[in-house]
Structure formats: C-alpha cells, structure tokens
Structure 1
Amino acid sequence: MRQSTTRSVSPILWVLLLVLAFLIVCPLVSVFAEAVIIDGRLDLYRAWTIIAAPENLQTIWNSLLLGVCVVALSTVIAAPTAYLLARSQLGKHKWLDIVFMVPFMTPPYIASMGWILFMQRRGLFQQLFPFTGRISEGFFSFGGLVLVMTLNVFPFMMTILKNAILNIPASLEESGAVFGAGFGLRLRKIFAPLLTGNYAIAALLVFVKTLSEYGTPYTLGRRIGFYVFTTDIHRYATTAPVDFGKAASLSSVLVLICMALWLAQNAITNRTSYRLVSGKGSRPVETHLSGGGLAAAWGWVALVLVVSIGIPYFSIIASSLIKLRGYGLAPGNFTLEHYAELFTTDRSLGAIGNSIFLAIASACICSVLGTVVVMAVRRGKGQLKKIVEGASMLPEMLPAIVLVIGIMLFWNAIYDVLPLYNTMGIMVLAYVVLYLPYTVQYVTSSFTQINDNLIQAGRTFGGSPWYVFRRITLPMIAPGILTGWMMIFIIAFRELVTASLIAPPNVLVVSTYINREFEQGSVSLGMAMAVLCVAITTTTLLILNAVTSRKKAS
C-alpha cells in the first residue's frame, strides 16, 4: 500500500518540480545568463569589467560596510534587550514581545520617511526643540542610515537570542556562580559559547536583510549619496538608458555573497551547536534586579521603544494631520482632510484596491501551491522530494530584487508565447514567487504536530485519501495555512521593490503611491496613506493573533 502511494506521489513531485523551475529557477538563471552571455556567446570579461568599474566597486563596498555596521549596532541593541526579556522581571510582561515586533511590522521605507521628516531642516525635531539649532541635520549621514536600518531588523536578532537564552538551563549558570565566576565571566565562558550558533544565524539574517533592503537606501541613502546593491540594480533596470547587463551583473554578485554567507553560517552553526534541551526538563532562571537595576532596565527598554517606534510613528501621524507644512506643528494647523481625500479620489482608491487585490490573490495562490508542495514532499521519498522542497524555499535565501529582475528578464523573453509581462498578472506571479516559502514553512510546522497514527487510522477504517485529507489532515494544518496567508497578505500589501519595478504603466499600489506623493511634495497625503497601510496590516496581525489564540485555547 505504501509503495503504491509513493508511486502515485512521484508524478506530482515531477509536476511541482517543473512548476517551481519555471517560476523560480528560470528567472534566476536568466539573471546569470544576462550577466555573462553577450550576443549569444559567453563573455565573462564584460561581466568582470562591469563589476570592476570604480562606481560598482564602491557600491559593493558600501553594501558590505552597511551590512557589517547594521549587524554590529543590532547586536548592541538586541543582546541586552534579549537578556532582559529572558532573564529579568521584564520577562513577565508578555506585551513587550508584541510591542518589539512593531518595528518589523512597519515597512522600512515608511519608517525612513518618518525619520527624514523628523530630522530634516525645519523638521519636527527643530520645531519641538528650536534651541538645538541645526544639530538634527547631522542625522543625514552614514550613521543615520545605519541607525534607521538597524531599528527595522534588530527584532529578528533579539527574538532569536531571547529564545536561545531561555533554552540555557539554570544549572549551568548556577554552577559557574558556585565556583566563583562573576556575571561578566559567566557571560564570556557560558553564555557566549552556547549562543554562538544562534548568533551566527541572527547575524546572517540581519546582514542579508540589510543587503536586500531597498526602501531605506532609496529614501534615505540616496539623499546622502550612499548607493548600495539594491538602489544601483533598480537604477540600472528602470532609468534610461536601461542596462539590464549591469543590473544582472550586480545581482549575480549579490546572490553569490548571500550564498557564501549562508554556507559560512551553516559551518559555524554546525561547529558550535549544543544540545541543551533533554527529556529531563530544565528550570527557568530569573536574575532578580534590584530597584535601581530594574529602573535602568525599564529605562533601556523605553529608550529602544521611543527610538524605534515613538519617533517614526509620531512623525508619520503628525505629518499626516498637518494642513500647511510651512506652519508645522502650530495650533490650528491640523486637519483630517488628507484622510478624507484617500477615500474620495480615484487614484488613492485605485492604489488601495490594487494592493488588496494583489495581497489576497498572492496569499491564496501561495496557500494552495505551498500546501500541495508540503503534502507531496512529506509523502515522497528520495532526492526528488528534497529538490522540490529546496526549490520552494529558494526565494527565502535570495534578495527580492534579484528575483524580480530575473522575472522581468525571463517573462519579457517569452512574451510572444505567454504575454503576461506588463500586466497585473506578472505582479501576482512575482508576489507568489517571493512569498511561497512562508506557506511552506508554516504548513510544514503544522505537519510536525500531526501524529501519523491519526492518518493511518483514517485509512484503516476505509477512508479515501481525499476523505482523510478533508476530515483529518486539513483541519489540523489549517492554522498553519491561515498564518501563512495572513503573513503573506501583510507583506504583499506593503511591498515596494516589486511594484516599483514591474507594475504596469499608470498602475499604483499603496507603496508606490506613498513614495510618489513623498517625492512630489504632497507629504501629508503620502503619510496619511502610510498610516492607513500600517493600520490595515496591524489589524490583520491582531486578527491573526486572536484567531491563533482561540485555536490554542480550544
């Protein structure tokens, strides 16, 4: 029976492999081909000359320097915060875990715009503190760029380190204390070695996200003349004279760097991983802070929250309510007209409608395709299932802008066969390619909680495969599918780089609408749309949390 089931799954795996190769692998190959194939022949020298050009070498150096600095500053913010939330009295306040995810839920380009409006000349900071003169304008530097990008990605590192610290048994730290090791020595000799593998994962994630980020380098980095991979790739692919060769060459370098980092992280993790969770269980440990220590801890948390959430959100909301920018925060200069305009003009309504359509369509397609992939992989055997699973997760390891460039090149090349390019369909396809790994991850996680005996029992009592799936498997993996759907909806609704590259002419989505209004000087209208964007995505996240909490309670 099991052999016949395996045989029936194999054709499905082959079909999925062809679909994933067509959607993901072919665009990626198109990027490399565009970089090294000139006039039908292999030309590595041209690709090398493009990469070795002084301006492109500067771009590569800028990107690597930015990544290293963001990792360093993220460590400074995330490490103490993770320790306080895992080991001190602050860990009892679970609402802090949700609040610290707000920077992640805020689109980077929106947070960057908030900081620009706050710190610029005659900005909100100078209006609130006129005695400081022009000191706030020093923000427009490499340090300001590092700060803004760090505030968006440090929650990833903080969450990974916090979970790792929680898994360190109390007995290890207590043993060190018994033998006279002070707090600093315990950090160096116990915590640091045990956290090295997890820190490598977190640092890699932050570094790759920094290299892949487009919104902040575009809004703030371009303003200070600091260009990185994503901004130059975007410029070569969209600004006349368009040069896909240069865009593909830089994209290839970016992919190779990311792949090398993934390999390095795997090597570090394999060498420095320790089994800390056993069947015996472990006691949670709490470092009891004194009154002064607890006050300092709350002060640190408040500072991080004010800088990462308070300043950008105050700036965004205040700017969305200002009637005339020249009067700033003056009494009587506030209005809700900008919000009313969002719901009364065709352009803003069209942008909202397009974003909702793209988010729903991509989330639904990813949910179906991802679930089929997971079902087939779990029933399959051999190398074929590993290849299919790896292909489905490939977009997670690659910068989004590289895949989008590949989609542009590949679908433009086959336009005569499949005229999807330059339509809304190509945007849905691009979103599906980028966000498929979310569904695969969440559904796979749900599958790990299903006991095979339940499925075998359904088959034993005569249930057909479809009946077993509909009555047993689907209800149990439904939370994972729903979670993946919600996360894809949230991220797709605010997506910027894909929309800015392949949106058809005169088609706006929420992100490009905000960006266009900001650049054209209609800042208040753009920020009103930004507030609406954040409100929609945050409401979706709250609904997700409520649904999952209810599922767990039942």
Structure 2
Amino acid sequence: MEKENKKKLYERFHMDKFNFWTIVSLLILIVCLLFIVYPFLNLIIQSFHNAETNAFTMENYLKFFQKRYYKEALRNSLVISTVVTILATCLGVPLAYIGTRFNLYLKRVIYVMVVLSMLSPPFIGAYAWITLLGRAGFITKLLASVGIQLGELYGFKGIVLVFTLKLYPMVYLYVSGALGSIDASLEEASENLGVSGIQRILKITFPVITPTILSAALMVFMTALADFGTPRLIGEGYNTLPVIIYKEFLNEVGTDTSFASALSVIIIVIALAVLFVQKRFVDSKSYNMTSLRPPKVVELPRAKKILATAVVFFVSFLSVLPQITVTIQSFLKTNGPIFVSGFSLDSYRNVVNKLGQSITNTFLYGFIALAIIVFLGLLGSYLIVRRKGFTANLIDLLLMFPYVIPGAVLGICLTVSFNQGPVVLTGSMWIIILSFVIRKLPYTMRSSVGILYQIDKSVEEASISLSVPPMKTFFKTTVPLMIPGVISGAVLSLISVINTLSATLILYTGKTVTIPVAIFNCVNNDAYGQAAALSTILTLATIVCLLVFHKISGGKSVV
C-alpha cells in the first residue's frame, strides 16, 4: 500500500502541467530551436539565395551538378569514406577478436595505444606521416639510401592510410566490447552441433555482433566523410567535399556563402541518407541475449601467443606512431622549417611566447563547453527517459541531429546565422564554445541516458513521497547517482572538444585561436617545430584526460 502511494505521488508531481520539468522542457526546446534548428534552416534558405541579388534561385545547386570539379569532389569523398570504412572494418574486427579472445602479452599497452590513436586529431596523423613518408620524410630518405624508392604518399593513398590507421581503433573498441558481452553458451551450443573454429566465428559470432560492427562502420564513414584537415594537408589536389566547402566559404577572391551553403546541404543529405540506411539494416539484424556467462579468454601456446601479440602490437604501434613522431620532433633543433641534429626546447619556448594564447583558449573554452554539456546532458537525458512524450522525443531528435553534421558545415551554419541580427556571436569566443556544445552534446546525452535507465524509479518515488519537490529530488537524489557515469562521459567529451579543428577553423579569429587551429596554421606556414610542440601538448592533455577517465570509471572501456 505504501509503495502504491509513493508511486501515485510521484506520478502526480510528473503529471502537473506547469511543474519544474515542464519549464525545463520548454527552455531546452527554445535553446534547440535557437541554436540548432534556426542555424540549419538559415543554411538551407541561404543555399537558395543569389549571392549578388539575394533573390531566390536554384543556381547554386545547378552549379554543383553542372560542373565536373564539384561532382568529382563529392565522388572523392564517397570513395574515400567507403574504402576507409571497408579497410578499417576488415582490420579492426579480426584484431578485436584476437585481442579479446586470447590472452596476449602487453594487452594493457595495446589498449592504451589503440585508445590514444583513436582520440587524437586525424590531421596530426597526416602531418606526422608526411614527415615520415613524404618526399623528404625520414623513412623515405632512409630507404632511398639503400636503393628503395617509395611511391607518392600524397593524394588518395595518403588520405586512405591516415584515415584507416586513425579510425580502425573505433571498430576495434566497439567490437571488443560486443565480443565480451556474448553469452558463452551460444558458442558452446554451436560447437555441440558440429560448428567450430572459423566456421563458428563466421556463422555464429560475427552475425550476432553485426549491429555493433555496422554502428562502428557508420562512425568511421561519417568521420571520414566530414574530416577536413587530413585531405587538406595530404591530399595535394585530391579534393573532397569538406575541402571544397572550406575553399568556397573562405575564397581568396571573395566569400561565396550561398554556394558553400548549398554544398553543405548536399553533404548533410548524404550523411542523413547513410544514417537512415544503416539504422534500417541494424534494426533488422538486432539480437537479444542474457550475457550471463562471458566467453573465456583462451590461453594460446607460447609460439602462437607471441605471433598474435606481435600482429596486434605492430598495427597498434603504427596507429600511435604519429604521436610518437611529433613528440620526438618537438624536442629537435630546427633551422627554419628543417629539423637538424641535436635536441632543444626552442620549439616550446616559441610556442609559449608566440602561441600561448591558443593553449589558454583551448582549455578555457573546453571547460566552459564541458560545464554546459554536462548540465544539458543531465537535464536532457532525464526528460528523454523519465518524461517520455512528444516533446521529449522532439528534444532527443534535435539534440542528436548535429551528430551527423560535418564540423565545417556547423561552422558555416553558425557564421551565417549569428553574423548579424539580434544575436551576434561571430568573432567571439562564445560562438566557438557554442559549436563545441552542439557538436559534442550528443555523446554525453547518450551516456547519460544509458546511466539513467540503470537507476530505479523507486529512489525518486521515495524522495517525492517525503514531499521533496521534483526539482530538489532531481538535484539532491538523481544527479548524485548519475554523476560518476556522466563525469566519465564528460572527460571523453573534453578530449574530443580540445581536439576539434573543422568548425573552429571556420569560426576563429586572431584572438580566439585554439591549439588544433594553431597546429594547422603552423604546418601550412612550415613551422614544423612549433606544430610538433603544440601536438605534443595536445597529446599530453589527452593522456591526462584518459588517466582521469580511467580513475573515475574504475577501468571501464572508453566506448
């Protein structure tokens, strides 16, 4: 009887039309409309404007479909994204199986290398591989001295190399988590029916984790499709759509905002179409299992164990090699753009003296954005899980929409929308912070939703039954239970924020430059020593964040 009374009181508080959560719903909806819906609608409207007369026109879209240059850029983007997705999946899935199912040597070291390579900016990998395998790269010269000539790194091959080594860890980590959650009885039953070895893996294990593989593949595809820095640095004429969008928006002979907006709409439509197809396929392939008995880790014979460890370690080492390379380079002496023999701290001194503001900005903007992300993530997730309905579903949809939007497109949206009118943010630090929040909030939202599903409603019912208002119940009872998991997700969001380039490159001014933008500019200006020093600072910050995450989460995986 007492339990029923608690539940009735809990439901009465939640059914009141003008309670705390109704106000929160309206405020978050207004924020979504102002900072998500309005910018993207403005982008669509802008794409139908004539740049000179401002009249309605279809010429921006006609220009795209009529000129081979732009269609080739789209084709290049799709080819790159597809090839990288296939390679990253083919590399990540078997390595994840070996790393998860067998007791390898140096397992913890391999995991750290995989995570670190996944969380670093792709353009740092592009820069590092240029210094290693470029025309004047260290490995190129070393091989040339013994008569071995390497082919060109630049263009299609270079982009695919950088993306594959950067993005396969995403597949590795997701698939590792899925393999660890399979109920061992499922595979044991298949063996009893005569299905074993590679046949069991192909017919039982991999089909069961197909939704996870497809989800990881989608993230790889979206990341490769949206990335601007890598093809810009290493493409050398192999243009992709994000690069073209950037060039059109910041053209030296005049900004063509309308045409850049049309290109942005096209890439958004493609991203949404891919997301829709993937979701339909995953929904048709979903399986449920109890996962009461996780699979046992198999102890390999010593020779096989050494071989398996060597394979996984070698690929993991290649993926983290860019961070190692730039760290070493940051301590080398430089003569202009050339690294010379001997070690020095000159690059760090130059960074502190000339680019110190970028370091301050990165962490200041990152922590402000993080505070907003955590606050909105807590409130938004509660609405989605506990206040189900049309408004909550709409908020969920609006907050998750930026997940599929390329960073450069988001930068253009915000610039077009907040360059004039009642709310002017262009040129200020707040437009960069806003881009961080919009782009990274979906990740914290999803982790917060997952945590809230694990918290029993009876805890809140008990609080409300003692006449504690919903707002006080949320902040005094629910939030403390959510905080450990939310903070873990927030640390990962901070890593992602401080490594962001695409949107920031569109939005920054001289006073609001961040570390990724400063690195990008240093590479373009041949200031390689400073670029290496800044990259090392960024890598060190990422490692510190990972250690904090590991401490807070109790050693959980980052995905």
TM-score by length of 1: 0.91
**8 Å contact kept, 1:105–1:538:** no
Cα distance in 2, alignment partners of residues 137 and 283 from structure 1 = 46
Change in CA separation of 1:54 and 1:505 when aligned onto 2, cut-off 3 Å: same
Confirm or deny that 1:229 pairs with 2:229. no
* Partner residue in 1 for 2:26: 14
Q: How does 1:288-299 map to 2 (within 5 A)?
A: 288-299=299-310
Deviation at 1:246, TM superposition (A): 2.1
Give the one of 379, 391, 394 matched to 1:387: 394
Q: What CA distance in whole angstroms lies between the structure 1 residues aligned with 2:466 and 2:13? A: 18
1:203 shift after superposition: 1.4
Is this contact kept in 1: 2:336–2:527, CA < 8 A? no
SS in 1 for 2:330: helix
Q: 1:50 and 2:55 equivalent?
A: no
Distance in 2 (CA, whole Å) between partners of 1:376 and 1:335 is: 54
Please, which moves more after superposition, 365-374 or 459-468?
459-468
SS at match of 2:344: coil
2:263 & 2:394 partners in 1: Cα distance?
27
Q: 2:170 corresponds to which residue? A: 156
2:500 aligns with: 495
CA contact (8 A) 1:377 1:385 kept: yes
Q: Of residues 299, 318, 327 in structure 2, which corresponds to 1:317?
A: 327
| 141 and 409 in structure 1: CA distance in 2 versus 1, 3 angstrom threshold | closer
How far 1:472 sits from its partner (Å)?
Answer: 1.4
Distance 1:266 1:523 in 2: 43
Counterpart CA distance in 2 for 1:457 and 1:483 is 27
CA contact under 8 A between 1:74 and 1:154: conserved in structure 2? yes
Match of 1:340? Answer: 349
Give the whole-Å Cα distance in 2 for the aligned partners of 1:21 and 1:134: 59
The answer to whether structure 1 residue 353 and structure 2 residue 360 are counterparts is: yes
SS in 1 for 2:333: coil
What amino acid is the match of 2:488?
Answer: T
Aligned AA (1:5)? H
Residues 131, 138 of structure 2: 8 Å contact kept: yes
The structure 1 residue matched to 2:481, chosen from 461, 476, 482, is: 476
Q: What amino acid is aligned across from residue 98 of structure 2 in structure 1?
A: L
396, 403, 426: which one aligns with 1:396 = 403
How far residue 42 of structure 1 moved from its aligned partner, in angstroms, is 4.4
State the alpha-carbon separation in 2 of the partners of residues 434 and 451 from structure 1.
Answer: 30
Give the equivalent residue in structure 2 for 1:239: 251
Report deviation, 1:128. 4.3
Q: Which AA in structure 2 matches 1:205?
A: M
Q: Which range is displaced more, 6-15 or 175-184?
A: 175-184
Show the counterpart of 2:3.
Answer: none
1:374–1:444 CA contact under 8 A, matched in 2: yes
Measured in 2, the distance between the counterparts of 1:325 and 1:123 equals 16
CA distance in 1, matches of 2:485, 2:178: 23
Q: Is the 8 A contact 2:211 2:286 kept in 1?
A: yes
In the alignment, structure 1 residue 121 sits paired with structure 2 residue 132: no
Equivalent residue number for residue 268 of structure 2:
255
Aligned residues: 542
Structure 1 residues 341-367: Cα deviation after superposition (integer angstroms, max 9, x where no partner): 333x1x311111111211111111222
C-alpha spacing 1:408/1:282, structure 2 compared with 1 (3 Å): same
Structure 1 residue corresponding to 2:519, chosen from 483, 506, 514 = 514
CA distance in 2, matches of 1:463, 1:96: 49
Following superposition, the deviation at residue 495 of structure 1 comes to 1.7
Length-normalised TM-score, structure 2: 0.90
Could you tell me how far apart the structure 2 residues matched to 1:94 and 1:458 are? 42
SS in structure 2 at match of 1:323:
strand
Structure 1 residues 53, 3: closer, same or farther in 2, change over 3 A? farther
1:230–1:401 contact (8 Å) kept in structure 2: yes
Contact 1:517–1:526 (CA under 8 A) maintained in structure 2:
yes
Task: Give % identity.
Answer: 23
Residue 326 (structure 2) pairs with residue 275 (structure 1):
no
Counterpart amino acid of residue 282 in structure 1: R
In the TM superposition, what whole-angstrom CA distance separates every residue of 1:85-131 from its partner, at most 9, and x where no partner exists? 22112399345333311111211111211111111233221454453
1:51-87 C-alpha deviation (Å, 9 max, x unpaired): 3421111011000100111011102210111111221
**CA distance in structure 2 between the partners assigned to 1:100 and 1:461 by the alignment:** 49
User: 1:208 touches 1:258 (CA, 8 Å); kept in 2?
Assistant: yes
C-alpha distance in structure 2 between counterparts of 1:18 and 1:327, whole Å: 50
Do the aligned partners of 1:13 and 1:384 also contact (CA within 8 Å) in 2?
yes
Unaligned runs of 5+ in 2: 1-8
Shift of residue 172 of structure 1? 3.3
- Measured in 1, the distance between the counterparts of 2:275 and 2:555 equals 37
- Tell me the equivalent position of 2:41: 29
Q: Distance in 2 between matches of 1:226 and 1:132?
A: 31
Corresponding residue to 2:14 among 5, 8, 25: 5
Q: Which amino acid aligns with 2:481?
A: M
Which has the higher mean CA deviation after the structures are superposed, 230-239 or 495-504? 495-504
Question: How has the CA–CA distance of structure 1 residues 376 and 283 changed in structure 2, closer, same or farther, with 3 Å as cutoff?
Answer: closer
Residue from 54, 59, 72 that aligns with 2:73? 59
Indicate the SS of the match to 2:104.
helix
Report the more deviating stretch, 247-256 or 490-499.
490-499
Q: What value does the CA root-mean-square deviation take over the aligned residues?
A: 2.5
Rounded to whole Å, the distance in 2 between the matches of 1:494 and 1:20 is: 24
Distance 1:506 1:494 in 2: 18
Q: Distance in 1 between matches of 2:512 and 2:30?
A: 31
Contact conserved, 2:101 with 2:298, CA < 8 A, in 1? yes
Give the distance between the partners of 1:306 and 1:328, measured in 2 at CA. Answer: 26
Tell whether the 8 Å contact from 1:351 to 1:507 is kept in structure 2 after alignment: yes
In structure 1, C-alpha distance between the alignment counterparts of 2:190 and 2:109, rounded to whole Å: 32
Do the aligned residues in 2 keep the contact of 1:169 with 1:282 (CA within 8 Å)?
yes
Q: What is the CA–CA distance in structure 1 between the aligned matches of 2:480 and 2:556, rounded to whole Å?
A: 11
Query: Shift in Å at residue 506 of structure 1?
Result: 5.0
Are the aligned partners of 1:168 and 1:276 in contact in 2 as well (CA < 8 Å)?
A: yes
